[in-house]
Amino acid sequence: MTKKELYEKKIEGRLQELKDEISILKTRVDNAKTEVKLEYVNQLENLKNLEQIAEKNLDEFKNKSDDTWEKFKENIEESWDKLSCEITQLKKKFKENE
């Protein structure tokens, strides 16, 4: 297995973990109190948009040749970092409002 293939598997696994976290957060938003629900819904929508960007970057990455994929690696990591950060922020808001 090449370095690119190993990295791709790692990223696919990480994306699935983030999707699972978003799914859990969606359930929490659905069960949230009415007065804070709108704020959560907006943040959840932002998470879904970031998830789509991350998926798009992964698709683009898969199409890169073995000699150019490392240059694209930074874009993937940046989108993952943004998505992870937003998930963490929403989790903190839930804790603050409990």
Q: Where are the domains of the chain?
A: 12-21+37-96
pLDDT in tens, 39-87: 888 888 989 998 998 888 888 888 877 777 777 788 888 888 888 998 9
For residues 20-56, one letter each, b for 16 or more C-beta atoms within 10 angstroms of the residue's C-beta and e for the rest, the string is: ebbeebeeebeebeeeeeeebeebbeebeebbeebee
One-letter amino acid for residue 71 of the chain = K
Model pTM?
Answer: 0.78
